[in-house]
Amino acid sequence: MTTKDLLRLAKRDASRAALSLHESASRARAEIALDVRAVRERDPAAKSAAEALLLYPGVHAIWAHRASHALYKRGHFMSARAISQAARFFTGIEIHPGAKIGHGLFIDHGGAVVIGETAEIGDNCTLYQCVTLGGTGKECGKRHPTLGDGVMVGAGAKVLGGIKIGDGAKIAAGAVVLRDVPENSTAVGIPARTVKTDGVRVDKLDHVHIPDPIESRLRAIEERLDALDKQ
């Protein structure tokens, strides 16, 4: 191979490397833009894009996770875990490097949020403080939950085991979810029960107007007793 050929190959490789770097930078900018948009759209306290970029621990934890997840996929488990633990120290949010996270995740406040190794989170999901996506301690393999797109998990909720939470589902604050939740449903209570929203769309960020399955059942029994009394 001549010197000219070597120079041609070197030039081609340099061009490919530059193109790859440009594409990676473009993807990173797009991801950051989505992160900022998620904060601005779902947190009325966010006053500017600069505030979301610089002062939101949930955003920083997600950025750290992207770096640790990339290392994890390449088999650099120690380095990946080191990044995730450093992010935990600075943000209070622990995301295992193996977790798979989609676009537009918003972690509000973020303190004490835990996301396990085999957890999977779809696009445009929202997690509040003290949420756990964990295991029950008994499973092997896929032992953490899978969240569909647009899922909201309220403050203090625990979603445990290799279960599936359907698209658009809502987990009420303080709920302990141990079974699958269908899409566009709401899970309430300990252990959580799945209820529908009577065909009426509820604001995904509303933690107050969530149906209580026990109250609904008691009301149905009361109405039935009234009907029997009238008969």
Cα–Cα dist 197/209, whole Å: 10
Which comes out higher in pLDDT, residue 20 or 78? 78
* pLDDT (tens digit per residue) in 44-98: 999 999 999 999 999 999 999 999 999 999 999 999 999 999 999 999 999 999 9
Tell whether the torsion through CA atoms of 7, 22, 62 and 127 is positive or negative. Answer: negative
172: DSSP letter: -
How sure is the predictor about 100, in pLDDT bands with cuts at 50, 70 and 90? very high
Percent above pLDDT 70 for the chain: 80
CATH 2.160.10.10 describes domain 99-231: yes
Strand, coil or helix: 170? strand
- Per-residue pLDDT for 208 more than 60? no
**Res 26: pLDDT:** 72
Cα–Cα dist 50/30, whole Å: 16
Average pLDDT, the chain: 86
Beta bridge partners, 126, equal: 106, 152
Which comes out higher in pLDDT, residue 6 or 229? 229
* pLDDT (tens digit per residue) in 215-227: 667 778 888 888 8
How sure is the predictor about 27, in pLDDT bands with cuts at 50, 70 and 90? confident
Cα–Cα dist 120/71, whole Å: 17
Any residues with CB less than 8 A from the CB of 119 and at least 6 apart, and which? 96, 99, 100, 133, 144, 145, 146, 147
Cα–Cα dist 167/86, whole Å: 32
User: Domains of the chain: which residue ranges?
Assistant: 99-231
Contact between 93 and 107 under an 8 Å Cβ cutoff? The reply is yes
Any residues with CB less than 8 A from the CB of 79 and at least 6 apart, and which? 68, 71
Which comes out higher in pLDDT, residue 197 or 231? 231
Which comes out higher in pLDDT, residue 98 or 20? 98
**Res 74: pLDDT:** 94
**Res 206: pLDDT:** 58
Strand, coil or helix: 177? strand
pTM for the complete prediction? 0.80
Among the listed residues 88, 120, 124, the one whose alpha carbon sits nearest the alpha carbon of residue 106: 124
Average pLDDT over residues 186-210: 69
Question: For the chain, where are the alpha helices, taking DSSP H only?
Answer: 3-42, 49-55, 57-73, 77-91, 213-230
Among the listed residues 146, 110, 142, the one whose alpha carbon sits nearest the alpha carbon of residue 128: 110
Among the listed residues 156, 61, 88, 164, the one whose alpha carbon sits nearest the alpha carbon of residue 119: 164
How sure is the predictor about 171, in pLDDT bands with cuts at 50, 70 and 90? very high
**Res 23: pLDDT:** 62
**Res 72: pLDDT:** 96
Contact between 101 and 124 under an 8 Å Cβ cutoff? The reply is no
- Per-residue pLDDT for 1 more than 80? no
